Every structure is written in C-alpha cells, then in structure tokens.
Structure 1
Amino acid sequence: MSITIKDIARSLGISYSSVSRALNNKPGVSNETRKRVIAEAKKMGYKPNDMARGLVKKQTNTIGVIIPDIANSFFGEVTEGIIETANENGYTVFLCITNWNMEIEKEYLRTLQEKRVDGIILKSSKDEEERKYKDEINVPYILLEGRPTYGNSFVGVNNKRGGYTGTKYLLKQGYRNIAFAGGSKDSYTNMQRVEGYIDALEEHDIPINKELILYNDFTAKGGYKLAEKLLNNDKKIDAIFAGNDVIALGVLDYATTHGFSIPEELGVLGFDDIFYAELPQIQLTTIHQPKYELGKYALEILIDDIHEGKDRTCKSIILEPKLIVRSTTR
C-alpha cells in the first residue's frame, strides 16, 4: 500500500495542509516542521517521485553549488556540509567546479538557471565580479566567502581576525621579520587576511615592508615560488604567514629542500586547517576555519531565502576562526 500525505499527517499529529506545504516547499510551516515532515516521509517510505508530483511547478528541489577548486580539501569539507544539509532537507545538489575560470563560472550560472534550480550557492573565482551577478542571477543565491556588501545573503569567516591572530602569535613566539605569502590579489578573503597581518605588525610598532607581501595563486606551486622569492635574498625572513594551507605546503617544500630549519630558523603558518595539516609528517600551525559549518549555514540560509520568495531579506553569518598550534612554529 502506498503512503499518502494523510498518513504522514496522522503519524506526526499535524494537519494535512501542513504536511502538504512542507513537502511542496510552500510558506506557512517552520523549518523545524518541514524537517520533521521530510524525515517522516522518508521513514514511512513516501517515495521521492510521489513528492515530485506534488511540487509547485516552479520548484525542483535542486540546488546549484559553484566552487572554484575541488583539489583543495577546504572546498571539499565545505561541500560536505552543503550536501549533508541538503539531503536532510530533501534537496539534490548539482556541484560545479570552475577551476578558477570566470568563463566557466558564467556558463555554469547560465546552465543552472536553465535547469530551473531553486537556488545557488556561489564561491566566485573573482570576488570583484560578484556585484554584477545581482542582475544576472534570477533565483535566490548566497555568496560563500565573498564580499558581504552586495545586497545578498552571505556566509563567511572573519578573515581579518584570522590574519591578525596568526601574525600576533608569530610575534609572541619571537619572530620579527614576518612575510605574507598570499593567493590572488583579486581575492577579497586573501586581502582581508593581509589587513589583519598589517594590523598586528603595526600594533607592535613593526614597519610594514611591502616587499615582504607577495601574491601568486592558491596552490602549492604558487607557495613554492613565493618562498623562493622571499627566502632567496638577504631579507633575513624568519617566518612566513601563508594565505592558505596549500600555499603553506609549497613554502615548506621549498624551505626544507633548501636547508631551512623548521621551526627554529623559519616559522610557517597556514590558514584553513585542512585535514592533512595535522598529518604527522606535516603538523602545520594554522588558522582553523569552521568549514563544514560554512556549508551547512549557507544551505540553511538559502533554503530560507527560497521559502520567503520575493519577501526574502538579506542574511549574513560571520564565523570566527581560531589558532591551531602545531610543529611548524616554535
């Protein structure tokens, strides 16, 4: 015997109309009730194709997610938070990887809207392009780690605080000639980390040397090249704050293969706390980002925006980073 909406309503002790609204993504029920209904529907064997027949024509229960890089496990952990939360709420995720290519990103945005996704989570390849999307994206969307100033919902981390905390820790450990090996200058998050780094140096009356702030890309190869430039001279650098953990791995690669003693002669600090930062052979001191939570909150806010429709309001969540001390700093 097939399970009906009335069966679910009877099981939960709520009205038929509440169950219908929850399964059809209509307003009028709380997120908690919607989650209970979806969970009960799955438990009772109410098949997805039964749900689909009851959906409003303009809704597909699908979410588009656009991220620039899947090789960096930071994005993998964020995506895990998105997908698990989507599954809990009855949504399917279309995952798109741009490889930091703006043309590919724009094509994905066009394709996802043609497929009538209900909403989009976007980490743009180029943060400065985000302001243009307000007129180009016709479904609710949320920015992941971009600029929280473009009149759209946003989830991110306090990157400036992270840059400040990491630099202050290096100073506390006795490092004084600290360089910053960053990713792209087009990255808002990267530049916020630089601002925090500068604030900490100024607080300790250390002059800012722009020659010690260099940029490449968010890869180990980029980190290797930056370390080569920073360490192959007479600047007597004793610590490098990397723009992310992958860059830090490139810095460590160059430093260890060129005879630098870690952490006594050179301290290295990363940003993100990706899973292999804690491997025994690496043990990278880093700034932890709550990656799973970034994905989870992004999906939850997007669902709220979808349900609110034209009445939606902009929402933002800024999560706090924290220092994780390991073996690459003294």
Structure 2
Amino acid sequence: MVGIRDVAKYAGVSPSTVSRALSGAAYVEPEKKEKIMRAVSELNYKPNLAARSLKRGGSRLIGLIIPDIMNPYYPEVVKYMEVCAMEAGYSLILCDALGDARKEEEYFATLKYLFVDGILYIASTENIEHVKPYIGDIPMIIVNRTFDVDAPCINIDNADASYQAVKYLAENGHRKIALYINDKDRQYNRERLAGCLRVFDEYKIQDYEQYMVKDVESEDDAYIKTLQLMKAEDRPTAIFMFNDFMAFGVYRGITKSGLRIPDDISVVGFDDIPSVKYLDPPLTTLRHSLADTSGVIFEKLAEQMRTQTCAPASRTYFKGRLIVRESVREIGRPGEG
C-alpha cells in the first residue's frame, strides 16, 4: 500500500511537504506541488478517507509517549502536558514505553489507528527508524532529543546546562569533581559530558578521569559506588550527577561513610525533580523542567494541528537554569593561602 513517504520519495521532497501540499492549509512552492500531485497520480496514492473525514472535526486526542513513568522526571512532564492539552480542549493519551523501542512502535501504530491529532514524543532509544513511517503523516514534536529527521525537535542545551553546573563547582574552588554518569549510551549523556570537559579545560583540571563514576544503574548502585568512592585516599571534594535520580543513593552513601554534605563534599544534580528540594540539605541542581517550556512545546504542536499539516525539520534549544540551594560550599581555591 502506497503511503505518504512513498509519495515524498518519488517527488523528491520531504513527507512534511507532501502533508502541507495535500492539506492545502499551508503554502508550498508551485514547482514542488506539481511534482507531488504528479507523484500522487502516478503512484495511485489514496489518502485514508475515514481519517480525513474525522480530521475535519479532529479527534481532540493527543498522544504522549514517554520512556519510563517510574523515572521521577516524567510524572512532572505528564502533569504539565496534561494541563496544556486540557486548556486547549484536548485529551491526552499517555503511552509508557518502558524503555522499549518495540513498545514505542506499537504505540505509534495504536495512536495512528485512533486518529490522534498530534503526538508528543520523548524517545527511549537512539535509533528511531520505527518512528520514521509516521513522520510527515501525523503532526509531531520530538521532545528532549535532537534527531536528523523531518520533524521539529525541542531540547535543552545539555552541554551548556552541565557547563553551568560544573563551572559553579569550579568557581567555588572545587577541582576534584566526580562525574556520575548513568548506564545508558545516550545523546544527552554525551552532550552533558562535553559541557563538563569544557569546564575542566578552562580550569586546567587534568586528572578528572580518576573521579568518573560510570554506568550508574539505579539509586542502589549510586549508593554502592558512593561508598566505594568515599573510601578513596584522594577522594573528590564534589560530585556532579547527570540526573537527580541518583541523588538519593549518593546522599545515603555519603552519610553512611560518616561524611556530611556540604561540609565534607559538595553535590550538584541535573533535572530538579520535585523531591530533591526536600533532601537534607536541599540539592543544588540544574533545572530541566517542562514547567518552564511546556507552553512553547505544546503551541508548536497546536499550530500543526490547527492547520492539519506536519511541520518540517527544525531544532529549538532551551537553556537550563541552575537552582542554588544548600548542597555546595566554597573551599579554598588552589594557590590561596
């Protein structure tokens, strides 16, 4: 069966351009539109008439695909997207992929079957080949990731965010900074590491690798790895965690080692999940919250849904914001008496 991607390939344009041309709701260059209509005719492409009929009124449904609801970052994502959807007169269908690309693929098929008006997608994996058949067919925003696809991607500037966090530690005199990196080989981890290395380069910190704690799988793993790190003869004076989920294990490991935060060791996180402000002491962290950006994200999807078109590739980056609380103390800078 011929699909919209087949028409796009035949006409030498993107799926989103085909979508705009066929809907008639957005301008497409006459030359391109002529190629598209010729492809439609020669391929005998027939749009789903039932879907088109439903789309005139709209299903008033939006799919939200997330990687894992057990991650404390995502309940807040659901909350703010639900608020945006409700205020705009839409209902949200929550799809928890459990970190499984196969479940994502199933959800995309289901959401298409339900004729959702749009999809907000937070990827579980780096490979999104299973998503490409739906790009240009359903209005979509890819959130918290940046992929080379013909759809809008909205993401935090991870490198700048981690740079802010680690620079704050360096400005407070810390040079022995441990990096806690989770067990996933993900784009955001590589970007956050790049930001850290930029600080290390600026402050001439060369022995950072001995303090890198990799493959942190869980809170319990963070706890065990912290116990081990705190036993080191030349232990770090500060820890930067690539996500706040590790904080509970790190705090427990430091306390169990007979040390205090921030008197003996400073700690900075990433995400600002709701619970970390209640830790003792409250965690200084890099705020990465859809509370700050959900309105903009939803509006970009709403514009596609209003015009019944799929937007072309674009990249939008938001800056993170360091939330200073009580988990960092200033120590003597090298060279100071």
Query: For residue 230 of structure 1, what is the amino acid of its counterpart?
Result: L
| Percent identity of paired positions between Structure 1 and Structure 2 | 28
C-alpha separation between the residues in 1 aligned to 2:59 and 2:84?
Answer: 17
2:270 aligned partner: 271
1:125 aligned partner: 124
C-alpha separation between the residues in 2 aligned to 1:150 and 1:115?
Answer: 24
Please tell me whether the aligned partners of residues 184 and 190 of structure 1 are also in contact (alpha carbons under 8 angstroms): no
Residue 88 of structure 1: how far off its partner (Å): 1.6
1:102 aligned partner: 101
Distance 1:109 1:327, change over 3 A: same
Secondary structure of the corresponding residue to residue 71 of structure 1: coil
Distance 1:113 1:222, change over 3 A: farther
Please tell me whether the aligned partners of residues 179 and 240 of structure 1 are also in contact (alpha carbons under 8 angstroms): yes
The one-character-per-residue Cα deviations of 1:93-112 (angstroms, maximum 9, x if unpaired) are: 10111222333222222222
Please tell me whether the aligned partners of residues 152 and 315 of structure 1 are also in contact (alpha carbons under 8 angstroms): yes
Per the normalisation by structure 1, the TM-score is 0.76
C-alpha separation between the residues in 1 aligned to 2:169 and 2:161?
Answer: 12
C-alpha separation between the residues in 2 aligned to 1:272 and 1:256?
Answer: 23
User: Relative contact order (C-alpha < 8 Å, sep 6+): which is higher?
Assistant: 2
The one-character-per-residue Cα deviations of 1:39-91 (angstroms, maximum 9, x if unpaired) are: xxxxxxxxxxxxxxx96458311110011222333222222221111112111
For residues 1-330 of structure 1, the aligned pairs below 5 Å read: 56=55, 59-126=58-125, 128-130=126-128, 132-137=130-135, 138-207=137-206, 209-216=208-215, 219-279=218-278, 281-310=280-309, 312-330=311-329
The one-character-per-residue Cα deviations of 1:265-291 (angstroms, maximum 9, x if unpaired) are: 211110111212212634001111242
Secondary structure of the corresponding residue to residue 216 of structure 1: strand
Query: For residue 91 of structure 1, what is the amino acid of its counterpart?
Result: Y
Query: For residue 81 of structure 2, what is the amino acid of its counterpart?
Result: I
C-alpha separation between the residues in 2 aligned to 1:329 and 1:271?
Answer: 14
Distance 1:105 1:197, change over 3 A: same
C-alpha separation between the residues in 1 aligned to 2:87 and 2:175?
Answer: 49
Distance 1:99 1:238, change over 3 A: same
Please tell me whether the aligned partners of residues 69 and 98 of structure 1 are also in contact (alpha carbons under 8 angstroms): yes
Please tell me whether the aligned partners of residues 272 and 288 of structure 1 are also in contact (alpha carbons under 8 angstroms): yes
Secondary structure of the corresponding residue to residue 227 of structure 1: helix
Distance 1:179 1:118, change over 3 A: same
Distance 1:282 1:149, change over 3 A: farther
Distance 1:60 1:325, change over 3 A: same
1:6 aligned partner: none
Residue 228 of structure 1: how far off its partner (Å): 3.7
Aligned residues: 280
C-alpha separation between the residues in 2 aligned to 1:136 and 1:222?
Answer: 38
Secondary structure of the corresponding residue to residue 236 of structure 1: coil
C-alpha separation between the residues in 2 aligned to 1:153 and 1:135?
Answer: 15
Query: For residue 306 of structure 2, what is the amino acid of its counterpart?
Result: H
The one-character-per-residue Cα deviations of 1:247-301 (angstroms, maximum 9, x if unpaired) are: 1222111111121221122111101112122126340011112421333322221
Residue 308 of structure 1: how far off its partner (Å): 3.6
Runs of 4 or more off by more than 6 Å in structure 1?
none
Residue 199 of structure 1: how far off its partner (Å): 0.6
Please tell me whether the aligned partners of residues 218 and 246 of structure 2 are also in contact (alpha carbons under 8 angstroms): yes
Per the normalisation by structure 2, the TM-score is 0.75
Please tell me whether the aligned partners of residues 177 and 208 of structure 2 are also in contact (alpha carbons under 8 angstroms): no
Secondary structure of the corresponding residue to residue 129 of structure 1: coil
